[in-house]
Structure 1
Amino acid sequence: MECVFGLVGNGFALVVADSSAVSSILVHKSKEDKVMILDSHKLMGASGESGDRVQFTEYIQKNVALYQFRNGIPLTTAAAANFTRGELAAALRKSPYHVNILLAGYDKETGPSLYYIDYIAALHKIEKGAFGYGSYFSLAMMDRHFHSNMSVEEAIDLVDKCILEIRTRLVVAPPNFVIKIVDKDGAREYAWRESIKDAGVAPA
């Protein structure tokens, strides 16, 4: 029951993801961070098979860092999105990654941006988007309440509305969500929305 969603506001972009690590009917973790900080001004929220998600996002993160190391300048958000799309496309006929991505970033020249990249390597620049079962509800809430140039406070209020709707409507709803933001000051964790904690292992 994964859910990743994001939006672009006035001078920032944010990405929200559930933090449940699930396999079949088992929940392994309830604080799995699915929003990776690619570099100082980029975020990548991903959903999909756990192995593919972790391997692919780490692969992209290391290649973005390698480009900056070799060339002395970072990739723009658009360039990082196109590189990510290219790697997904190249893998399609070999060993495809079952991973869907929302890539958010901030560039000095163009400001904040958000890119939708799905597992069959479709790429779109968007203002709001979502993946997973929670997308049915988060997209509906964003269609109703989203507007261009939202402030951070308005965006977080909308995020909370989406999370509440997901928890209310989904039969098996993820309890915890992580919110990360990127703006002129960089990419960083903004907040968590938690309803349960990870259970500790009982002593033998």
Structure 2
Amino acid sequence: MGTEAMLGLTGKDFVILAADGQAAYSIIRLKNDADKIWKVGKMLFACSGPPADAGNFMEFIEKNVILNELRTGIPMSTKAAASFTRNELAHALRKGPFQTDLLVAGVDNDGPSLYFMDYLASSEKVNKAAHGYGAMFTLGLMDRYWKPNMEEAEAIDIIKKCIKELETRFIVELPNFKCKIVNKDGVKEVKL
């Protein structure tokens, strides 16, 4: 568990992800404007961990999801992409593990879906999720305010409450957050 904070919520017809912009090595902050949310096809992957592991693993996943679509002519569903990603984490765990935690988000014909994955290759479909030490401060807020069929404005408000809680209680300063929403029309970035 790192000092990062990644948050995710499902809504009526969308999924929202937010991640801090900190890239760190040990106790050294390397940068404050890292984008930890990757657009892969029509999905979003939030990935945290050591910057090299996160970058290399996400490039590998992105290229393979695109390759699969080129081979089959069919875009991967969010469930299939999450299963593929979990399987790759499980294989890597036995060879040279990636220290990456992920949130996989997408909207398919059966609605929005959010998958919680950790570096030990566990995976679960959830309605709300958080990774890193930030999860200790934000999951309670998500439990309290999340509801089925939320509108985008409500979800953005919950994300803002979570970030405010991190600013108030967390000893590590996480100055910048990126926030992105995926829906049936694609991906958009939200200014917080």
Q: Is 1:56 the equivalent of 2:57?
A: yes
Partner SS for 1:168: helix
Partner of 1:24: 26
Q: Give the letter aligned to residue 102 of structure 2.
A: I
> Could you tell me how far 1:73 is from its partner in structure 2?
1.1
- Give the root-mean-square deviation of aligned CA atoms: 0.9
Partner of 1:116: 116
1:34 counterpart (28, 31, 36): 36
The runs of at least 4 consecutive aligned structure 1 residues that moved more than 4 Å come to none
Partner of 1:75: 76
2: CA distance, partners of 1:36 / 1:185: 17
Partner of 1:181: 181
Q: Is the 8 A contact 1:16 1:177 kept in 2?
A: yes
C-alpha deviations, 1:100-156, integer Å up to 9, x for none? 10000011x211100011111111000000100111111011011111111000000
> Could you tell me how far 1:185 is from its partner in structure 2?
0.9
2: CA distance, partners of 1:20 / 1:165: 17
Q: Is the 8 A contact 1:37 1:188 kept in 2?
A: no
Q: Give the letter aligned to residue 8 of structure 1.
A: T
Partner of 2:16: 14
Partner SS for 1:75: coil
Partner of 1:5: 7
| Identity fraction in percent | 47
C-alpha deviations, 1:70-96, integer Å up to 9, x for none? 111100000000000000001111001
> Could you tell me how far 1:173 is from its partner in structure 2?
2.2
Partner of 1:161: 161
Unaligned 5+ runs, structure 2: none
2: CA distance, partners of 1:72 / 1:190: 31
Q: TM-score, normalised by structure 1?
A: 0.91
Q: Give the letter aligned to residue 164 of structure 2.
A: L
Q: Is the 8 A contact 2:24 2:50 kept in 1?
A: no
> Could you tell me how far 1:45 is from its partner in structure 2?
0.4
Partner SS for 1:158: helix
For the pair shown, which has the larger CA radius of gyration, 1 or 2? Answer: 1
Partner SS for 1:172: coil
Partner of 1:46: 47
Q: Is the 8 A contact 1:11 1:184 kept in 2?
A: yes
Unaligned 5+ runs, structure 1: 194-204
2: CA distance, partners of 1:85 / 1:187: 23
Partner of 1:95: 96
Partner SS for 2:171: coil
Q: TM-score, normalised by structure 2?
A: 0.96
Partner SS for 1:112: strand
Q: Give the letter aligned to residue 34 of structure 1.
A: K
